[in-house]
Structure formats: structure tokens, C-alpha cells
Chains A and B, each alone.
Chain A
Amino acid sequence: MKIWNYGDDINTDMLFPGKYTYSCSTAEEIRPHLLEDLDPEFAGKAAEGDILFAGKNFGCGSSREQPVVGLKAIGIKAIVAKSYARIFYRAAINQGLLLIDCADAVDAYKPGDSVSLDLDKGEIIIGKKSFSFPKLPPEILKIRDAGGLLAYTREQLKK
């Protein structure tokens, strides 16, 4: 498992450049361009189970959901950031991608630290310290736990 560590105000153009928004929609098309203008190594090296750390206002800017779709397809276990832009946050719920809101954990993390998650307790453990993070409200958790909004919507439509 690798930890990717980035700064503040990482916008959706850095996560997935606007010039590809109308030529790439599927996870396979998106993946090679993920984080292209931020970290050219990411797309080739990121793997299932990796965790991404970032500062404040992660995912600000455009409403494009390709960054979330791409990160989910890679199997990124969670993003841990000081705060998120709201459309990105909603997009992550809708794709079933785990976002952890925890400024203290981001401040505590130093390259080389071990990182693990205890989702039942709502804790992130960095080195020997653990930090709790807020859980989503139950009505929203239902969407993420169904595997995302489309899966949830299909369940509802069948009722």
C-alpha cells in the first residue's frame, strides 16, 4: 500500500484536465489521465488499497466526476483531507468512494508513517496515534453502502 501526499486546493482540473472531459467518460479512458497535471507518476503507479492525503478544499472547481470515477476504479481505499469541495464530496458518496474529513490526521502524517483505518470505530491510525473522523448521516451512508447512487436508485425503483 502506498500513501500519496498532496497539498491544499487540489482542483478537479489537476485531478483530471478539462480538455479530456468530453473524450473520456469510462474508467478505462479516465485512468491514464488521472492527476496528470499534478503528479505524472500517479496514473502509472497507483494501485488498489492506496490512500491519498491532501490539505484543504480537495476537489474544488468543476463538477466533473471523472476524478472520483477514476480513483474508485483504481481501488483507492480512502482520501484523507482537511476539507473537501462540496460537489466532489457528493460525487464521492455517489460513487461509493470513502472520504475522510480529518485535519488532525493530515497534520500528523509524515512520509514513512504507517497508516491504517478502522471504519467501524471511525478511526484513522497514523503511526501510534489514532484520530477519529465523523461518520456520514445514516440516510447518506445508505447510498454509499449500496455501492453508490445508481445502485441505490435501482434498489429504490424496484420497491
Chain B
Amino acid sequence: MGKTFAEKILAVKSGQDEVVAGQIVMVRPEHLLTHDNTAAIVGKIKDDLKEYGVARPDMPVIVLDHVVPAADEKTATNHKTIRQFVSDYGIKNFFDAGCGICHQVLMEKGFAVPGSIIVGSDSHTCSYGALGVFSTGIDRTEAAALLLRGETWLKVPETIRITLTGKLKPPVSAKDLVLYIIGKLGADGANYCSVEFHGETSSLSVEERFTIANMGVEMGAKIAVFPVDQEAEEYLASVGVDRSSYEPVWADDDTVYIRDLKFDLGNLEPVIARPHTVDNVSPVSKEKGMTFDQYFLGTCTNGRISDLRSAAKFLKGKKIAQGIRLLVLPASRDIFETALREGLITIFSEAGAMILPPGCGPCLGAHQGCLAPGEKCLSTANRNFKGRMGCKEAEIFLASPETVAASAVKGSLADPREEVQS
């Protein structure tokens, strides 16, 4: 019987001929991602670090993104602590506030290499499955132990296969697809599992695959992974990852999965996830006319250049509706600069949007864009949990960049297929 992606990569990484689902293996991840929580992580092991040092100084990648620029004395002090740690222990993979959201930075700077393992103290570390990486989230304490030992255990997950057929029909997008999948599978439908995407995955761009893999954790998945194709290789080459430096891993053809699902991309329509769970999915066509106070375009799910381009088509030469707020947050400085060159930032600003610095703040209620009691937000983020944007009496609805932009112009939930694009 064939082996899954997870079984194959974890066998190689644990130095065994073969492993099976359920087995526990020791691995040395290529990279450990931490962000603003690095201060709390190193705070746990201050004395240990003095005694033992950082086991593998080339392993950590630290990106300041969750509260940037610092919101107050406490978060500023956190950042200062992290810069000191980076300097004291010779951590060379450090990206200070302003570089971008950690997951975007790891992809753009060439850390997400096919066939490697990345763990991170952030639940959306699963994003790099877009490039055939075994990547998953861990807690702060696990990250602290990894700094000291450079290795950890992983349980080999069981695997669900999702086969994609057909092509998305814009403005229906990858976000609609992944929300639709989560709606069908449930917020725990892939709990502890690896999710492999098969079929016509090459019809999706690398950025679209990123959006889908990013939300793997919202169906409970440990990893959500795509095969590496020519487009992925070209993307990797464009960020300086040479083809000779990696060996992609993929499942065998004759593998048996614990669950098999099929989705036809051509049949999808725009959807939203209603409060307060991500699997509470409903077609936009059934909810049209619903009004919101704030519209949010950005995050590690949908703040990439293709998202900004798609949104700008609905906003060019137009104004957002009276009495609403639109926040635009490019996922990285590189994306911000591309958007500047392409005139997208001007389109957003002239439409009445507020442009925020690359970071995570509003998505988790940590910084900027907080909601007031009774308010509603239509957001391209990945979570609509109660209290997520800083207020438990506010409501968050998740949608695609196309739906958010079209709706911001209209002033209420709009089906982007029916709105004018430039």
C-alpha cells in the first residue's frame, strides 16, 4: 500500500525506512518560526539559555508582526527584549517590525522549501503546505524547548484526500473554496489530520494555494499540503530558492486515505462565514443586503498582491459607501511596494480606505481596527470567533477580497459577480 505525504516526509526526516500514522517520531525541523511571542518564549528559559545557548542558531526565524509598530510601553518593551535576544544569541533570521506578516515573510524570503519541516508558535504556520512543506503550529513552551534542544516529537497524522476538479470562475476565489470546504467538513472535520490536495491543483496560483493551506487549521488540520508543480518551482525560483536545493515529497498513487472528498471549482459561488465559527458558511446570494460598520482587507489569508489587485478592480474610481470604514493591510512590505508601484494604494486611498502597516493587529484584536459593541465587520481574515477583533459584543463575517471590496462600495453585502469591475 502506498504512503501519504506525511508518512513519506516524516520517515525521511526521522531517519527511518518507513513510518505509519499514529507513530511518534523525533525530528529536527529546518525552521522554527516565532513572532512577538518570542519575548515570552525566551523569558521562560532565560537561565537555561545562559547555560546551554540556542541549540541551532540558524533554525529560528523571528518576525515582529503581531503588534507593529508597538502600541504601548509593554509591547515596545517586548520588541526590545526580542532585538536583544537576537543580538545576544546571533540569530541571523530576524525581520523587524514593518517587514510583514510572518507567514508571508517566510514564503517571500525563501524559508518555505518543499520537503522541509517548519514548526511555528502561530497556528497559521500550516500556510507553507502551499509549497509542499510539512508545517504546523505549536505552543510557546514547545518553541522554548526547541530553542534549547533543536528537536521535537511529531505524531504521524492520518490523511484526508481532497480532490479538486475544474477551475474557479472569478470573481469566485480561493477564499470561497476554502470556506466552502470548511463549511462541509466542519471546524474539527480534519482534526489531527493531514489534508492533501489532489486533482487539478495547478489551476490554482501559488497565492491561492497559500490562502487555502493557511485555513487548514480552521478545519482542525495539522498540515494542509499541495503537490509542488511547475508554478510552485517558478515561485520558489523567484524568491531565490534554487531547484537543486530541495527534493519535493508527494504521496504515492496507490495510497488509501481515511476520507476522500471531491470539490468542483467550477460550481462554486461566493460565500461568507457567519459568526462565531468558521464552518457557519452561507452563500452570499442568500445574505445580500446585510450591512456592516467595518470592512477589512488584508491578513495572512488575503493580504497578498493578487488579493489587492482583485479588490482594486471593484474600488477603482469609486468611493466606499457613506458611514463605513475600510481597512487595507498589505501582508508585507514587498507587497505594499508592489501595490504602490501598480497604483493600487492610490486607488484604495482615493476610495476612502485607511492603509495600515503590514502586520496582524486587527485580525486578533491586538492592535488597530478594534470593533465597538454591536458593530459588524466583513473581513478577509481567517477567524470570526466571538471577541476576536477586541469586542465580544461585535460580530465578524468572513469573505473573499472580491466580496469585501464590492460590498464596501455598495455599503452592504454584495455578490461580486453582480458588481461592476474596472
Contacts and interface: CB of A to CB of B under 8 A. Distances in A.
A binds B: yes
Interface of A: 9, 11, 13-14, 17-19, 21-23, 25, 36-37, 56-57, 60-65, 68, 83, 85-87, 90-91, 94-95, 137, 139-140, 148-150, 152-154, 156-157
Contact of B220 (A17, A60, A68, A156): A60
B385 A61 contact: yes
A152 B370 CA distance: 40
B43 A63 contact: no
B156 to A, nearest CB: 12
A14 B125 CA distance: 21
B37 A21 contact: yes
B398 to A, nearest CB: 13
A61 B191 contact: no
A94 B142 contact: yes
Contacts of B149: 153, 156-157
Nearest to B386: A37
Interface residues of B, number: 51
Cβ-closest 3 pairs across A and B: A18-B364, A57-B188, A91-B139
A37 B387 contact: yes
Contact of B386 (A13, A64, A137, A153): A13
Contacts of A85: 188, 191, 220
Interface in B191-233: 191-192, 217, 220, 222
Contacts of B120: 63
B370 to A, nearest CB: 8
Interface string B66-81: 1100001011001000
A13 B125 CA distance: 18
B24 A137 contact: yes
Contacts of B220: 57, 60, 85-86
A63 B347 CA distance: 36
Interface string B35-46: 011011001110
B344 interface: no
B27 interface: no
Contacts of B187: 9, 57, 60
Given A65-B140, A91-B141, A140-B153, 10 more contacts: A11-B385, A13-B383, A17-B390, A61-B385, A63-B120, A63-B138, A64-B37, A65-B139, A94-B142, A153-B145
A63 B385 contact: no
B160 to A, nearest CB: 14
A138 to B, nearest CB: 9
Interface core residue of B36, B139, B145, B386 (most chain A CB under 10 Å): B139
B400 interface: no
22 contacts: A13-B383, A13-B385, A17-B387, A17-B390, A18-B364, A18-B365, A21-B66, A22-B36, A22-B67, A37-B386, A57-B188, A57-B220, A63-B123, A68-B139, A83-B188, A85-B220, A86-B191, A139-B153, A140-B24, A150-B45, A150-B144, A153-B149
Nearest to B279: A9
B142 A90 contact: yes
Contact of A22 (B78, B123, B370, B388): B78
Contact of A56 (B36, B139, B188, B365): B188
A63 B66 contact: no
Contacts of A9: 187-188, 277
Nearest to B188: A57
Contacts of A94: 139, 141-142, 145
Interface string B106-130: 0000000000000011110100000
B401 interface: no
Contact of A63 (B52, B139, B387): B139
A62 B144 CA distance: 17
B366 interface: yes
A23 B66 contact: no
Given A13-B388, A150-B44, A21 B366 contact: yes
A22 B122 contact: no
Contacts of A149: 141-142, 144-145
A13 B123 contact: no
A22 B40 CA distance: 9
Contacts of A87: 123, 137-139, 217
Contacts of B390: 17-19
